[in-house]
C-alpha cells in the first residue's frame, strides 16, 4: 500500500447536471489530479455516488468522467479502495473487478507503518437507528436486489432521482450533532482500547478529526458545503479542506 493515504467520503455524485453539481464534480476531479501528482492510495469511504445501481450490462453513464479519472490513476499505479455506503451499495463486476482496485461490502481494517486503521461508512451504527437497521437488511438482501434489477434502468434511475434526499440543505440540530458525536467517540474509544490507532467514519458529514487517548477519530465531511478529506503521510494523520 503506497502512501500518502487519502480518505474521501459522501461526495454524493448526482445523476443530474446542474451547475452546482458540475462544480462539485470538478472539485473532486481536481483533488484526483492532485493525488496523481503525489501518488498514494485512495479510500472512498461510502456514498461516493448519491445513487449507484449496476445492472449486468448497464452502469450509470452520468459518472463517465469519474470512471475515466479513476482508470487513468490506476494506470499510474494508484490503488482505489471503495467501501460501499447506504447510497451506493448495489455494485456488480464493473465496480468490483474493472474500476476499483478493491471493493469492501462492509467495514475493514489494515495496518501500515505501525498504525492500525479501522474504516467504516457507519450507517446504522447509532444505538437508536432501529428502523434503519431493519431497512438496511431489506434493501441489501439478495431478494430485493434481484427484484429491482427487473425494473428497466431508465425507470430505476428515475426512481432514484425522486427518492434522493441528499443536498446542501442537509442540516441537523446542535444537540443531535453532539449526541451523534458522543456515540461515535464511544465507538472509537473501544476500538482504540482494542489496539486500533485511527478510526475513519463517513456518513455523518461532520468533517472533524478528534483525539481520543493515543488515537484519532476522523469523521469525514460531505462535499456540498466545505469539501474535506483526511490524509495519512506515514507519520501524521490530518483532516484538510480542499480548495
Angle 228-224-122 (CA atoms, 0-180°, nearest 5)? 65
Contact 35, 78 (CB under 8 A): yes
Sign, Cα dihedral of 11, 17, 20, 26:
positive
pLDDT value at residue 161: 75
Half-sphere exposure in the Cβ direction for 56 (13 Å, CA): 4
How many CB atoms are located within 10 Å of the residue 213 CB? 9
Q: What are the tens digits of pLDDT across the range 71-110? A: 999 999 999 999 999 999 999 999 999 999 999 999 999 9
What pLDDT does residue 165 have?
62
pTM score of the predicted model: 0.94
8-state DSSP, 97: I
Mean pLDDT of the 192-220 span: 96
Burial track 24-42 (b if 16+ CB lie within 10 A, e otherwise): bbeebeebbeebeeeebbb
Largest CA distance in the chain: 51
Locate 212 and state its grid cell. Answer: 481520543
Structural domains of the chain, ranges and CATH numbers in brackets:
5-241 (3.60.21.10)
**Of the candidates 81, 96, 98, 92, the residue with the CA atom closest to the CA atom of residue 40:** 81
Helix axes 64-75, 19-38, angle to 10 degrees: 0
Q: Return all residues near 214 (Cβ < 8 A) that are at least 6 apart.
A: 192, 197
Mean pLDDT of 39-62: 94
**Pair 58, 18: CB distance under 8 Å:** no
Segment 114-127, tens digit of pLDDT:
999 999 999 999 99
Amino acid at each position: 500500500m503506497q502512501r500518502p493515504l487519502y480518505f474521501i467520503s459522501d461526495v454524493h455524485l448526482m445523476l443530474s447536471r446542474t451547475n452546482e453539481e458540475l462544480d462539485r464534480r470538478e472539485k473532486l476531479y481536481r483533488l484526483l489530479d492532485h493525488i496523481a501528482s503525489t501518488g498514494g492510495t485512495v479510500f472512498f469511504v461510502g456514498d461516493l455516488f448519491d445513487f449507484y445501481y449496476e445492472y449486468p450490462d448497464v452502469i450509470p453513464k452520468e459518472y463517465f468522467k469519474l470512471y475515466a479519472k479513476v482508470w487513468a490513476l490506476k494506470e499510474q499505479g494508484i490503488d482505489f479502495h471503495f467501501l460501499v455506503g447506504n447510497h451506493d451499495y448495489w455494485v456488480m463486476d464493473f465496480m468490483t473487478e474493472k474500476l476499483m482496485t478493491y471493493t469492501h461490502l462492509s467495514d475493514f481494517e489494515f495496518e501500515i507503518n505501525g498504525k492500525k486503521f479501522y474504516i467504516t461508512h457507519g450507517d446504522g451504527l447509532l444505538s437508536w437507528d432501529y428502523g434503519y437497521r431493519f431497512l438496511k437488511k431489506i434493501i441489501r438482501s439478495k431478494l430485493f436486489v434481484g427484484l429491482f434489477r427487473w425494473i428497466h434502468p431508465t425507470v430505476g434511475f428515475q426512481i432514484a432521482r425522486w427518492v434522493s434526499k441528499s443536498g446542501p440543505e442537509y442540516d441537523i440540530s446542535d444537540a443531535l450533532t453532539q449526541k451523534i458525536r458522543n456515540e461515535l467517540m464511544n465507538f472509537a474509544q473501544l476500538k482504540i482500547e482494542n489496539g486500533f490507532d485511527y478510526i475513519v467514519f463517513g456518513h455523518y458529514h461532520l468533517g472533524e478529526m478528534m483525539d481520543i487517548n493515543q488515537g484519532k477519530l476522523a469523521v469525514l465531511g460531505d462535499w456540498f458545503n466545505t469539501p474535506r478529506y483526511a490524509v495519512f503521510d506515514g507519520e501524521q494523520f490530518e483532516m484538510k479542506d480542499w480548495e
